[in-house]
Structure 1
C-alpha cells in the first residue's frame, strides 16, 4: 500500500539533482538544456508536494497543517512556488541555486529524518478543531516561505557585494601595475588597458527583488499573527500568553518592520538594508523550528536536548 507521506521521498531525489545541476550550470552558462532540466525537476517536486497535501486533505477531511511534517511539506511547496515564479520572471539561475538547497533540506528532514509516526496523519486534537486552523497556519507558512526567499536574497546581495569589492581591489592593484609599466615603456598603448567592470546592475536587481518579496511577505505575517491571537483567545481564553513561539513571531515581525521602515522612511538601500534582511533569515528559522524543538510551550513539537 502506498501512503501519501511516501511521495515527498521522490522530491528529495528531484531536488538533490536540481541543486547539483543548478550549480553545474554556472560553469556552462550557454547550455540552456541544464537550466530547463533543473526547472523541470523543481516543477516535479512542487507538484508532488501539492499532491501530498491534497491527498491528505481529501482523506483526513481537514486542511493538512496540523503537525510538523505537514507544515514542512507546505513550506517546501511555498518556497518552490515562489522560486519558480521568480525564475520565470527573471530567467536567472541564481534563484534556483540558492532556493533549491533550502527545499532539499526541508524535504530531506521531513521525509528521511522525522519518525514515521510523526509523518502519519492523526485525528485533530480539540484545540485544533477550529476554522482558524486554515486561516492562521496558512498565513504564517506563506509568510515564512516568502520572507525566507526575500531574506535569502539579502544574504546573496551581501555575498555579491563582498565579492565585487574584492574584485575591484584586485583590479585597482592590477591597474596600478599596468600604469607603472606604461610609464616605463612607451611601446605599450593605453588602449590595451582592460575596461573597468561594474556589478551594480546585478546588485541593484537582487536588492530590488529582496525588497519586493519581503514587502509581500510582511502583510501575510501580520495577518497570521493577528488571526493566531484571535484563535488563542477562542481556544485558551487569552489573546497573548508570551509563549516562546508567540514571542519569536513578534521578534520576527519587528525585524522585518524595521527593515521596511528603514527602506520606506529612511531611504536605506543596498548593504544597510541587506544586513537587516539577512538578520531576518536567521530569526525566521528560530521562530519556525528553533523554539518548537528547544523550547517548551503551546506550540512545541518535542524536545531535542
Structure 2
C-alpha cells in the first residue's frame, strides 16, 4: 500500500534521477556549446527536480510537524534544494549556463549520498531533542545551508576558472601578451566576475547565519560562543571568505590568486558542514554521525 512516506521517498528519488539528466545535459552543452537545446533541457530538468524535492521536504515537514533540518539526511536534502533554487535564480538572472554545469553534479552527489548511502535508520524522522525545539532551528540552520550552497557555487566557478586557465597562459592586470584567443579570455573574465558576485551574495548570508546561531546558543546553552568544533570551523569559513572579499575589494585582485582562496574556501565549507560531524563530538552533533 502506498503511504505518504513512500511518496516522500519517491519525490526524493525522482529528484535524483532528474538531477542526473540535468547534469548530463549541462556537461554535454559545455562540450558542444552551440547546442542551446541541451542548456534549456538542463535548466528545465533542474526546475522539475526542485519541484520534486520541494514536495518531498514539504511532506516530511507536514508528517513530522517540524521543519526538516534535524539530522544529516534532512540537512542534505535541504542543501540539495538550496543548490537547485539558487542555481535556478542565478542562471535566470545572469544567463550563464556554467552555473548549472558546476552546480548540478554537487546536487546529484548530495541527493545520491543521502538516499543511497546513508543507513535507513538515519533517514527516519525522530522526535526533536529539547535543544532543537526552537523557532531558531528554521532561521539559523536554513540560512547557514543557503549560504553554504551559494558560496559553494561561487567557489566551483572559481575552480572551473583555474582548470580552464591552467591550460593557457593568461596574465591579469599586466601588460603581458595573453596567449589565448579573445573568446577564451572573455570566458575566464566572465567566470571570475560571476564567481566574485555570487560569493559576495553568500558572505552576508553566512554572517547572518552565524549571528542567528550565536543568539540561539545563548538561549539554549547560556553562552553566545562555546568554541564548539562546528562554531570554530564556521569562524574559519567566515575568515576565509572575508580574506577573499578583502583581497578583491581593496587590492583589486583578479584571476588565479582569489580563485585559489575560493578553492580553499570550498574545502573549508565541506569540513565545516560535514567533516566535524564525523567526529561525533560537540554541541552540534544531534542526529548526525556518532
> With structure 1 as the length reference, what TM-score do the two structures score?
0.85
- Partner Cα separation in structure 2 for residue 197 and residue 124 of structure 1: 57
Match of 1:287 among 269, 272, 275: 272
- Match of residue 174 from structure 2: none
Match of 2:46 among 38, 42, 45: 42
Q: Assess if the C-alpha contact under 8 Å between 1:153 and 1:206 holds in 2.
A: yes
Larger CA Rg, structure 1 vs 2: 1
Q: Assess if the C-alpha contact under 8 Å between 1:9 and 1:112 holds in 2.
A: no
Cα deviations by residue, 1:138-186 (Å, 9 ceiling, x for unpaired): 11011101001011111111112112229xxxxxxxxxxxxxxxxxxxx
Q: Assess if the C-alpha contact under 8 Å between 2:168 and 2:180 holds in 1.
A: no
Q: Offset of 1:246 from its aligned partner?
A: 0.7
- Partner Cα separation in structure 2 for residue 235 and residue 116 of structure 1: 30
Aligned-residue CA RMSD (Å): 1.8
- Partner Cα separation in structure 1 for residue 150 and residue 92 of structure 2: 16
Instruction: Decide whether aligned partners of structure 1 residues 196 and 251 sit closer, same or farther in structure 2, where only a CA change above 3 A counts.
Output: closer
Instruction: Decide whether aligned partners of structure 1 residues 200 and 23 sit closer, same or farther in structure 2, where only a CA change above 3 A counts.
Output: same
Unaligned runs of 5+ in 2: 171-178
- Match of residue 221 from structure 1: 206
Q: For 1:165, what is the secondary structure of its paired residue?
A: coil
Structure 2 matches for 1:3-152, cutoff 5 A?
A: 3=5, 4-152=8-156
Runs of 4+ in 1 over 4 A off after TM superposition: none
- Match of residue 173 from structure 2: none
Structure 2 matches for 1:245-260, cutoff 5 A?
A: 245-260=230-245
Number of residues of Structure 1 aligned to a counterpart in Structure 2: 275
- Match of residue 183 from structure 1: none
Q: Offset of 1:256 from its aligned partner?
A: 0.4
Q: Offset of 1:21 from its aligned partner?
A: 2.4
Cα deviations by residue, 1:234-276 (Å, 9 ceiling, x for unpaired): 1112211111111100000000011111111122111111111
Unaligned runs of 5+ in 1: 167-194
- Partner Cα separation in structure 1 for residue 28 and residue 259 of structure 2: 27
Q: Assess if the C-alpha contact under 8 Å between 2:30 and 2:101 holds in 1.
A: no
Match of 1:208 among 190, 193, 199: 193
- Match of residue 255 from structure 2: 270
- Partner Cα separation in structure 1 for residue 34 and residue 185 of structure 2: 23
In the alignment, structure 1 residue 299 sits paired with structure 2 residue 284:
yes
> With structure 2 as the length reference, what TM-score do the two structures score?
0.89
